[in-house]
Amino acid sequence: MSYSPIARHFPILTWGRRYDRKLLSSDLTAAVIVTIMLIPQSLAYAMLAGLPPEAGIYASIAPILLYAIFGTSNALAVGPVAVVSLMTAAAVGQVADQGTVGYAAAALTLAGLSGAILLAMGLLRLGFIANFLSHPVIAGFITASGILIATGQVKHILGVKASGQTLPEMLLSLGQHLQEVNPVTLALGAGAIAFLFWVRKGMKGALMRLGVPVGLAGILVKTGPILAVVVTTLLVARFDLGSAGVAIVGAVPQSLPPLTLPDLSPDLIRSLALPALLISVIGFVESISVAQTLAAKKRQRIDPDQELIGLGAANLGAAFTGGYPVTGGFARSVVNFDAGAATPAAGAFTAIGLTIAAVALTPLIHFLPTATLAATIIVAVLSLVDFTILRTAWTYSRADFSAVAVTILLTLGMGVEAGVTAGVALSILLHLWRSSRPHIAEVGLVPGTQHFRNILRHDVQTDPAILTLRVDESLWFANAAFLENHVLRRLADDRAVQHVILMFSAVNEVDLSALESLEALNHRLRDSGVTLHFSEVKGPVMDRLERSHLLDQLTGKVFQSQWDAWAALAAVHGAFQTAPPPALESFAT
């Protein structure tokens, strides 16, 4: 495998060299299945974003091709997804009215900004940011978004003109328009929902009972949404249900994706900058999670920095070909993986299939009822709703539960932008809060061993003159004062202590603020007649400390191990005379 800079930024140069007929066969099979699945999904998600249905297909062609060149996942299927479509509608709806030229242009600008942000992050190698977002918080946001999306589509199922961006607004608007429900639209929409749920839950088993092989049954299940589209479209066309008030897709341009130019006016860019950043971060987190999960199943490697570049290129492609922001979708990526996609070329073949659909098949969806597209969205997004995260968080961590609950409530009550902003902020604040309050354990010697463990968890030997504190966190400006105050509070309650040992076995970093705090602690302990020692200081941390004045001014010593410190100091006070035999047992901390 080549590791040259060019090959690193163009993964296609690596997997393309080994491409053969076997890989081609696997990729073509996966592309056919994903294309069939993606056609109704693309139309539905475009409607969710407030854009014409063709925008969903356009957003699934150039972006997929560009990701195939720059992306590192063999199975990730890039295109419109529910959450990003909802965020697009929320962001663009603030600067333009749906159905206007300005709305479509703003969607292009949003895709362009998102692409530029992702590309810049990739070039700056900021892929690690995905690790800073709390998974429970993101799960809470996605759950709330799924509820908003499903509720927002109910108006299409009922055939009414309800509105609203938050859950209370939507429910109130739906209640005010209940008397306007179109029975025919409701029958089509409810029937499509029931059928699609059956497709997901019972169709495969029914086909297998009829003797259909497992593999073929799985493929037929993936075509369920297409069957719903075909049947409802034929019903509308055959019985002229459009004249009965059933809303239909109508005329869709029969053409290749157009070359488009985003609106780069400064005012619009300022208005969409924050939403673009949020869409970029959320889209990247969702995409990299899916890509890494699928890659792990085949022991493959995903490069987060290159994924940023791949997704950035995909969004820039959407901006210049009539699309809107895209990312890697969970459902279609899993289908792509299960169908046997072996390389990113499967995505390129999917793009070719969608291009054929855009040119040749769009006239066939003229009579497609919007209620069917709404049903497709509802069934898809309800799988995102997972309230078990609340129960899990409540059981495991009250802090995480609070963050998840606040994210869900804000998303439902104040809208997507407020919810995702709160989610990202809470993820960071939770990390800072936990890091600012490091776990500090007072430890003692486990009898008969050289192990030191928490005095609150184990029956250990201690010396009244020696206080040993194990610091279980790196020390930096946010938590340095916490350690200093903890030591001083502990000493205020115990006048017998003559030595303090800070056990640094878990400390990987000491920044300048923490160094100054340790120096201040050393001086305050000296003034109190207490000696400060360190034990088990890691090499890189010791290298830093040796470049400071702390060790020159230290009243005590730096011991290689906690056992050495205990043996040296305890012997002075007569608490310990002979060394116990070394032990190999392990103990819980």
Q: Is the pLDDT of residue 253 over 90?
A: no
Contact 467, 433 (CB under 8 A): no
Cβ contacts of 124 within 8 Å, gap of 6 or more:
none
Q: Are strands 452-454 and 327-328 parallel, antiparallel or unpaired?
A: unpaired
Residue 34's Cβ-side half-sphere holds a number of Cα atoms within 13 Å equal to: 39
Q: What is the pLDDT of residue 519?
A: 94
pLDDT for the residue 254: 85
Averaged pLDDT, 298-304 = 82
Q: Is the pLDDT of residue 71 over 70?
A: yes
Residues of the chain with pLDDT > 90, as a percent, come to 46
For residue range 504-528, what is the model confidence (pLDDT) as tens digits? 999 999 999 999 999 999 999 999 9
> Does the pLDDT of residue 46 top 60, yes or no?
yes
**CATH number belonging to domain 440-572:** 3.30.750.24
Residue linked to tokens 């899916």:
290
0.85 exceeded by pTM: no
> Has residue 248 got a pLDDT over 70?
yes
**Rounded mean pLDDT, 400-416:** 88
C-beta of residue 503 within 8 angstroms of C-beta of residue 443:
yes
Contacts with 574 (C-beta within 8 Å, 6 or more apart), sequence order: none
Alpha-carbon distances, residue 82 vs 105, 147, 327, 420 (angstroms): 20, 11, 10, 14
Q: Who's near 240: CB < 8 A, 6+ residues apart?
A: none
Q: Tell me: the pLDDT tens digits for 200-244?
A: 888 888 888 888 888 778 777 877 788 888 999 999 999 999 888
CB 345 within 8 A of CB 30: no
For residue 535, what pLDDT band results from cuts at 50, 70 and 90?
Answer: very high
pLDDT digits (tens, 9 = 90+) for 546-559: 999 999 999 999 99
Q: How far apart are CA 404 and CA 580, in angstroms?
A: 49
- What is Dmax (Cα atoms) for the chain? 99
Segment 8-32 mean pLDDT: 84
Which pLDDT band holds residue 583 (cuts at 50, 70, 90)?
very low
Q: Average pLDDT of 192-196?
A: 92
Is residue 180 pLDDT above 70, yes or no? yes
The predicted-structure confidence for 412-440, as pLDDT tens digits, reads as follows 998 887 887 787 787 778 778 888 888 99
pLDDT above 70 (res 3): no
* H-run or E-run covering 506: none
Q: What is the 3-state secondary structure (H, E, C) of 390-448?
A: HHHHHHHCHHHHHHHHHHHHHHHHHCHHHHHHHHHHHHHHHHHHHHHCCCEEEEEECCC
Q: Are residues 87 and 417 in contact, defined by beta-carbon separation less than 8 angstroms?
A: yes
Q: pLDDT by residue (tens digit) across 267-277?
A: 999 999 999 99
Residue 110 has pLDDT above 90, yes or no: yes
Q: Residues 383-397: what's their mean pLDDT?
A: 86
Pairing of strands 466-471, 440-445: antiparallel
CB atoms within 10 A of CB 181: 14
Banded pLDDT at 5 (limits 50, 70, 90)? low
DSSP string for 443-482? EEEPTTSS-EEETTTS--B--TTEEEEEE-S-B-TTTHHH
3-state class of 351 per DSSP?
helix
What are the structural domain ranges in the chain?
A: 5-430, 440-572
Q: How many residues does the chain have?
A: 589
- Split at pLDDT 50, 70, 90, the class of 581 is very low
Q: DSSP string of 91-136?
A: HHTTTS-TTSHHHHHHHHHHHHHHHHHHHHHHHTT-GGGGGGS-HH
**Once rounded to an integer, what is the mean pLDDT over residues 56-65?**
93
Whole-number pLDDT of residue 362: 82
Residue 316 has pLDDT above 80, yes or no: yes
Using the predicted structure, report yes or no on whether residue 56 has a pLDDT greater than 60: yes
Residue 326 pLDDT class (50, 70, 90 cuts):
very high
Q: Quick one: what percent of the chain has pLDDT higher than 70?
A: 96
Work out the average pLDDT over 240-261. 89
